[in-house]
């Protein structure tokens, strides 16, 4: 007998924990999360689910995950909290810097030499707290110097309502600024005068290019396209292959031949979509 377990009458053992968390709770939450978000929680994610949801159970004064599941049935607004708690939101400014280098050197610079202006549409599909779309906006501002000739819009979407709120606020503490050179900080994120911690706020010229909207990638994509560039980074890694296939089939309809798609460092379209050609490290061009 395991001394760190409670042995239940049905013969199963429960680890001693603050909240009762049975296998059926994990299986039911796992199925619910998958149907809501596409996120595929493997068996190994049991502790992650427990850890991420205990904060909700405490806040709601519940005693068990069975009670939490009952609440989810009664109160659909808790589904948003469930999704917010389960999503992994890790991001940073200029994450995977070679993507921004490609954008500047291989796309924006030649474009500015070819044309004197025009319309550019960019979509950050899982923008988390905004660092990714703001990094794109900074790259645009640094490269397209004759800005008034260009109509640039960056759409930043995510499922997580809390992250979108952070993105819209555009205020970042010092420990979130590591991807930014001092020059970029000075130009694009002036210090917040009233902040004792040295937080910085996205400058209006950067914020003006970015629009945040809530969008679940499992649902119909409401935009018309065409989209010159799509960033879909570090999100499909949480989806199973069929979900990825379905998503990229829909995404590819929003792009014309030659348009760009950036994936995360451990993601790939191999056996997922043949609408794109690999042209660099996790960089694709629509065929």
Ligand X SMILES: C[S@@+](CC[C@H](N)C(=O)[O-])C[C@H]1O[C@@H](n2cnc3c(N)ncnc32)[C@H](O)[C@@H]1O
139 binds ligand X (CB under 6 A): no
**Known catalytic residues?**
52, 158
* Phi and psi angles of residue 201, each rounded to the nearest 5 degrees, phi first: -115, 135
- Residue from 29, 62, 163, 209 touching ligand X (CB under 6 A): that is 163
For 113, the 3-state DSSP assignment is: helix
264 binds ligand X (CB under 6 A): yes
- Residue from 25, 132, 259, 267 touching ligand X (CB under 6 A): that is 132
166 binds ligand X (CB under 6 A): no
Question: Which is nearest to 123 in space by CA: 95, 154, 94?
Answer: 154
244 binds ligand X (CB under 6 A): no
Give me 203's structure tokens: 């400058």
Exposure string of 34-65, with b = 16+ CB inside 10 Å and e = fewer, is: bebbbbbbeeebbeebbebbbebbeeeebeeb
- Residue from 25, 81, 158, 259 touching ligand X (CB under 6 A): that is 158
d(CA 204, CA 218): 32
Binders of ligand X in range 81-110 (CB under 6 A)? 87-91, 95
126 binds ligand X (CB under 6 A): yes
Binding range to ligand X, per CB under 6 A, among 73-81, 147-155, 172-180, 215-223: 215-223
CB 150 within 8 A of CB 144: yes
- Residue from 39, 207, 260, 263 touching ligand X (CB under 6 A): that is 39
220 binds ligand X (CB under 6 A): no
For 258, the 3-state DSSP assignment is: coil
Residue holding tokens 């069929």? 242
- Kindly list the residues in this chain that would bind ligand X in the complex (CB under 6 A): 37-39, 87-91, 95, 126, 128, 132, 158-160, 163, 216-218, 233-235, 264
């Amino acid at each position: 007998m395991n001394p760190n377990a409670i042995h239940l009458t049905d013969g199963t053992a429960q680890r001693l924990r603050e909240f009762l968390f049975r296998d059926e709770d994990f299986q039911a939450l796992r199925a619910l999360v998958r149907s809501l978000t596409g996120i595929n929680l493997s068996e190994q994610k049991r502790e992650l689910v427990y850890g991420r949801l205990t904060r909700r159970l405490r806040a709601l004064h519940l005693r068990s995950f069975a009670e939490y599941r009952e609440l989810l049935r009664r109160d659909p607004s808790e589904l948003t909290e469930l999704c917010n708690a389960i999503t992994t939101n890790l991001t940073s400014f200029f994450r995977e810097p070679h993507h921004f280098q490609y954008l500047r050197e291989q796309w924006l610079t030649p474009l500015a030499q070819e044309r004197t202006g025009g319309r550019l549409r960019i979509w950050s599909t899982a923008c988390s707290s905004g660092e990714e779309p703001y990094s794109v906006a900074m790259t645009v501002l640094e490269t397209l110097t004759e800005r008034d000739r260009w109509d640039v819009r960056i759409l930043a979407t995510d499922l997580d309502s809390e992250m979108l709120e952070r993105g819209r606020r555009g205020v970042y503490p010092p420990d979130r600024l590591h991807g930014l050179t001092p020059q970029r900080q000075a130009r694009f994120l002036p210090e917040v005068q009233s902040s004792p911690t040295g937080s910085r706020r996205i400058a209006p010229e950067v914020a003006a290019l970015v629009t945040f909207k809530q969008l679940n990638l499992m649902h119909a994509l409401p935009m018309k396209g065409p989209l010159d560039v799509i960033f879909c980074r570090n999100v499909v890694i949480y989806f199973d292959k069929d979900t990825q296939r379905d998503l990229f089939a829909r995404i590819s309809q929003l792009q014309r031949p030659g348009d760009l798609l950036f994936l995360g460092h451990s993601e790939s379209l191999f056996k997922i979509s043949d609408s794109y050609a690999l042209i660099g490290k996790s960089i694709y061009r629509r065929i």
